[in-house]
Amino acid sequence: MQTSWIPFVPESASTVSGKVDALYFYLSGVTAFFTLLISGVLIFFVIKYRRRMPNEIPRPVAGSHKLETIWSVIPFMIAMSMFAWGAQIYFQNSRPPKNANEIYVVGKQWMWKIQHSTGQREINELHVPVGRKIKLIMTSEDTIHDFFIPAFRIKADVLPGRYTTQWFEATKPGSYHLFCAEYCGMNHSGMIGSVIVMQPTDFDNWLSGNASQQSPAVAGQQLFQSLGCVSCHGANGEGGRGPALAGLFGQKVFLTNNQTVTADEAYIRESIENPQAKIVSGFNPIMPTFQGQVTPEQLIQIISFIKSLQISNPQSATAPAVPAPKAAPSTPANTTSAPNQQ
């Protein structure tokens, strides 16, 4: 949908921006239509049914089920069309495609720190290639920020202690505004930057011109060594005291409380900062907390290192041991082992 000729919408430069605009125009159109219809009918009735004689008594009016059904069902259908259309765009927008390039974003008062998976860092600028899917993995070092690119029609809160994501595919080379859209203190209004969309070849040149930095995964590996994680979490479980981490990312993990959890960014962060919160089945709660010892950026590095760990031997690497929590409680073998836990 071509909308750039209407001055009150920002430039349209991503694959979803046209869809968001179409829905927005539909909402505005429906609103304008009913505003005009209702005020028009109101004025018409005021004139038509005005009192003409001083002692005029109006005819009694009986209700009409037919009319009431019509004016309930039609608005209901219109409301549901807004819901269905909006939900469809929402789901598309909130589910990053699997093959997207990942870029890490850390918000802090008052700047955006960005790191590409190949290691390049930038501040208040985000360089991306046109026509490629980009997934942003975002967190904050202090308060709540919000990463907003109007031309792409994407916007998401950036929270301390959590990872939020959003994705886009830019459709036009150019430079676009980047805003913080959540009041975050004195210089909130200055927490701005630009998104620079480049042709893929220009982008590759830009990347290679800035290639001197370490990738987050490599930095994470060094942290993994220096913080001593490796002594318990050997790459293939050889540490023995902690679950193996190879191939873990994205998998379901069985916990001692018989629940399962998906090993995503939030789970790994929690397991580093608050290791007792979710204990993997078959392991003891012996890991110390690393809260305060790793910065949000270092957490991202460790997470991207863990993501990069591939399973070397698919047979042996179903990582955390899989118990049989459902069948176990009724078997005699388990009842004998139960007293140990009490």
Residues near ligand CUA, by CB under 6 A:
107, 110, 145, 180, 182-184, 188, 191
Number of other CB atoms surrounding residue 210 within 10 Å: 15
Which is nearer to ligand CUA, 142 or 238 (by Cβ)? 142
Question: Considering all CA atoms of the chain, what is the largest pairwise distance in Å, rounded to the nearest integer?
Answer: 98
* Pair of tokens at residue 61: 């009016």
Residue 147 has what DSSP assignment? E
Please name the residue that has the structure tokens 């005291």.
241
Cβ 117 to ligand CUA, closest distance in Å?
24
Which is nearer to ligand CUA, 106 or 268 (by Cβ)? 106
Cβ 316 to ligand CUA, closest distance in Å?
46
CB-based burial of residue 158 (10 Å sphere; 0-12 exposed, 13-18 middle, 19+ buried)?
Answer: buried
Which is nearer to ligand CUA, 46 or 186 (by Cβ)? 186
Cβ 136 to ligand CUA, closest distance in Å?
15
Q: How far apart are CA 113 and CA 299, in angstroms?
A: 14
Cβ 164 to ligand CUA, closest distance in Å?
14
Cβ 113 to ligand CUA, closest distance in Å?
12
Which is nearer to ligand CUA, 161 or 323 (by Cβ)? 161
Residue 160 has what DSSP assignment? B
Which is nearer to ligand CUA, 193 or 220 (by Cβ)? 193
Cβ 252 to ligand CUA, closest distance in Å?
35
Which is nearer to ligand CUA, 141 or 270 (by Cβ)? 141
DSSP string, 174-236: EEEEEEE-S--STTGGG--EEEEEE-HHHHHHHHHHTTTSPPHHHHHHHHHHHTTGGGTS-TT
CB-based burial of residue 85 (10 Å sphere; 0-12 exposed, 13-18 middle, 19+ buried)?
Answer: middle
* Pair of tokens at residue 177: 């505004």
